[in-house]
Chains A and B, each alone.
Chain A
Amino acid sequence: MEATKMASPKSAPKDAQVMAQILKDMGITEYEPRVINQMLEFAYRYVTTILEDAKIYSSHAKKSSVDADDVRLAIQCRTDQSFTSPPPRDFLLDIARQKNQTPLPLIKPYSGPRLPPDRYCLTAPNYRLKSLQKKVSSTAGRITVPRLSVGAVSSRPSTPTLGTPSAQTVSVSAKVGAPVSLAGQRFTVQIPSSQPAGKSATPTTPTVQNVLINPSLIGPKNILITTNMVPPGAADPNPLKRKHEDDDDYDAL
């Protein structure tokens, strides 16, 4: 923390001076100058929130004006919601006693990387490939999988961003941290045949022209392909059927 120069009293507004005094009283002597701004902003926001809540409570109680009880209630509710404090000591001692009674589990030898069950790990793929473009493939077995460029940094969790509909290849941005290897991962590629509207679980995904799966990329048994080989002009395939496929997707993953 850099030492701060005291803002000259002429230029700092009164609130800032008060805040500086508060910091001094609490024993904080070294702080960046922006801390005062942050603290003032926090104070303003907090008080506004409390007073707004208090207004709501007092109007709910059909009172003519806000009084101390409303404010007290507002403070209490906000404290329970935003400013939670750690559990009280007796509770901690209690759960500690319970937890410490069970003996330490034995360690199985030769079990490879010791990780929790998969559902508690972050090793599962967090994306699912779906191609939505209806395109009747000439041969049943020829389906293209989009070329993945995993490893792109993206902060959006699980929305695969696919390329433009006309692109032949698609890049999926996955959360960084997903393993690069696809071996052993099951994923489903759905090739719905009707119009794209309202089809998939992710309606925002644009469609892909064709999907080719490189068999060496994925193990022979790992791909679940559902192709609805319905001719273009046909009505929606059985929605129930698709739903079942959707369920399959989730089960497979």
Chain B
Amino acid sequence: EALLGRGTSAAAVAIGGNVATVATSSPGVAAVAAVPPGKGESRGDCGVGSSSWQEPRKAGSPVSSPSSKITHSGDVSIGGAVVVEDQPDVSAVLSAYNQQGDPTLYEEYYSGLKHFIECSLDCHRAELSQLFYPLFVHMYLELVYNQHESEAKSFFERFHGDQECYYQDDLRVLSSLTKKEHMKGNETMLDFRTSKFVLRISRDSYQLLKRHLQEKQNNQIWNIVQEHLYIDIFDGMPRSKQQIDAMVGSLAGEAKREANKAKVFFGLLKEPEFDVPLDDEDEEGENEEGKPKKKKPKKDNVGSKSKKQDPNAPPQNRIPLPELKDSDKLDKVMNMKEAARRVRLGPECLPSICFYTFLNAYQGLTAVDITDDSSMIVGGFADSTVRVWSVTPKKLRSVKTAADLSLIDKESDDVLERIMDEKTASELKILYGHSGPVYGTSFSPDRNYLLSCSEDGTVRLWSLQTFTCLVGYKGHNYPVWDTQFSPYGYYFVSGGHDRVARLWATDHYQPLRIFAGHLADVTCTRFHPNSNYIATGSADRTIRLWDVLNGNCVRIFTGHKGPIHSLAFSPNGRFLATGATDGRVLLWDIGHGLMVGELKGHTDTIYALRFSRDGEILASGSMDNTVRLWDAVKAFEDLETDDFTTATGHINLPENSQDLLLGTYMTKSTPVVHLHFTRRNLLLAAGAYSSQ
């Protein structure tokens, strides 16, 4: 299928041993001429970061024949955008593919490169060693895809032991892919094959590599490198192995610097001004005369009573948000009163932890959520039920039946109490409806609705006033791993096995936004406190930040070595903490797009992360049956994020996990699944007891 008429900015085609690179710097070129083989300059740089990848457009649907899929191996996907390759004669490319290096010689190429890298200078070796893994995987997959089974097998046997330990899981999956048919169903591997692995290498190391590979006898491997790798060059000191190890690990390599360049409005939205009525009993020690009514600046964003707009905050109407109802206003007033009583946490004053253990769950507890005011707790279970408990002595009541409703006096003052049915009040309500294990639950901020998402592919909205199911949102046709309401209600996000996250509104039966770009399942989805951005963690070991307004991916964070299972935004909106199966908590600066901290200590998957109400403490809960508290203030202060470091894309991470760890609290045998700070900074934790 002709790819004319689509805009492209840069393309690289490897044909017959020569590299023909066409780069157009003008965005949105209307027509692209097919590049005949053999022509075109050999630019030598495989997609240097300074070339303009502006407004690349997606090509038309791929051609059906499998060999032409090879031509897409040069495609790059960054947050939804794909660069189109020039596609000359299909037959020329077909023959070109086979000539891209004799499959029987792949082992020679790889060992030659290995020898060169191992003999290079120490300072460069760490960076150049990054090439081993992607090249190994790509070459192996090429051999398998082109049905050179025996060569693939011996290639794998010989070199799989050289790879880094954190790639072992991937290698195990790879070892089971021995035939082309095996690859067909595995979308993740197919995507990996057709995308370019991103490496970040300093200019000096890159020059060294290029000089070596451009020697005549290394031409083949140079082609392979150019075909499958994207080398993002930065000017600066070569990175040490430690630095590299902190940031690699994802299926697509690291993130290009451009991927993290877009402006992100990480500030918080202005809270509406209130007149807070002061109760005498709340204000002990106040003077007798009435104070002028003014809002107490409890949260730090509220401190700015000035009219100036925070430059980092999004405009109020950037995305439509529901208006505040009277009940919401009352809730906010309550919130502020509680905030006045809040305990100030810090290294000297650690929170008390109250643990809610689910008994007799028989390893079926799969999701937990607690309301913001800590009045209700919900558990999603593997038997497809959703159970809601009341945490306070006040029982759960549902609205009366119509028969009884017609009998009450509608004019009485306590009509809101009278509509509730006392006869069926109970501490526990069970909600039936899903047909598969419930993997995610989320209360709405106004406590009227509950969301639950399940392996059956639906997200269900339940009413907490009638305790019945209102809507089933169908869109993911595969298990949905996580869902969350927006902090302002009305919107919610869900992420699932189909590798996309979807933004929904409660009154639309179809999603409003689809966030596509991850290479593997989306396992965790969270809203930013200002509701303008969504963070998604995925099994491809990256975290992406998406803009709700237009669906663009504005940040890609790599560094975890396993699927991400927990995300937490700091209350001021500037930082993101993430936890994965590798037991590390990574801290990210959203504005600059950098990793700013690494907290080591847990020994198993981290399923729960939460910042305290004012952001002083980060609590993490893990499958290793512990809750750990980290000093967030210290972790984020004194960051060297000046222009120079942001240009390189990484900063030096201090090895201060031990200093930041404030406490480790062990449970007997209960993995921690959920953490929640009450409005007064008491830490609640939840998990299911596993008799082990």
Residues of chain A whose beta carbon lies under 8 Å from any beta carbon of chain B: 1-2, 25-27, 75, 79, 83, 85-97, 99-100, 102, 104-107, 109-110, 113-117, 120-123, 153, 176-184, 216-217
Contact = CB atoms under 8 A, between A and B. Distances in A.
Q: Which has the most chain B C-beta neighbours within 10 Å: A27, A93, A182, A217?
A: A93
Contact of A216 (B187, B406, B514): B406
B365 to A, nearest CB: 14
Interface string B499-530: 11000011111011111110100000000000
29 contacts: A27-B168, A27-B169, A27-B172, A85-B185, A85-B187, A88-B187, A89-B77, A89-B190, A89-B499, A89-B516, A91-B61, A93-B82, A94-B58, A95-B516, A96-B513, A96-B551, A99-B513, A104-B512, A104-B549, A105-B508, A106-B320, A107-B322, A114-B490, A116-B509, A117-B509, A121-B470, A178-B468, A179-B466, A181-B405
B323 A86 contact: no
- Interface of A, secondary structure class, is loop
Task: Give the size category of B's interface with A.
Answer: 35 or more
Contacts of B541: none
B383 to A, nearest CB: 13
Given A89-B191, A90-B82, A114-B506, A104 B58 contact: no
Contact of A86 (B62, B184, B187, B363): B187
Interface centre among A100, A110, A117, A182 (most CB of B within 10 A): A100
B498 interface: yes
Nearest to B502: A99
Given A86-B498, A183-B406, A115 B506 contact: yes
B329 to A, nearest CB: 14
A89 B550 CA distance: 19
A99 B551 contact: yes
Contacts of A110: 323
A115 B514 contact: no
The 5 A-B pairs with the shortest beta carbon distances in the complex, nearest first, are A100-B551, A181-B402, A183-B402, A96-B516, A120-B509
Contacts of B514: 92, 95-96, 99-100
Contacts of B217: none
A113 to B, nearest CB: 8
B471 interface: yes
B560 to A, nearest CB: 18
B196 to A, nearest CB: 13
A172 to B, nearest CB: 14
B61 A90 contact: yes
B373 to A, nearest CB: 21
A102 B29 CA distance: 24
Nearest to A182: B402
Contacts of B322: 107, 114
B512 A105 contact: yes
A104 B551 CA distance: 11
Contact of B401 (A100, A116, A181, A216): A181
B466 A100 contact: no
A120 B185 contact: no
Contacts of A178: 468
Contact of B511 (A86, A99, A182): A99
B198 interface: no
B433 interface: yes
Contact of A90 (B62, B406, B497, B550): B62
A94 B169 CA distance: 30
Given A96-B514, A153-B432, A176-B433, 16 more contacts: A26-B176, A79-B185, A86-B478, A86-B499, A88-B191, A89-B190, A89-B191, A90-B61, A93-B58, A93-B516, A100-B80, A114-B490, A116-B507, A176-B432, A180-B466, A217-B403
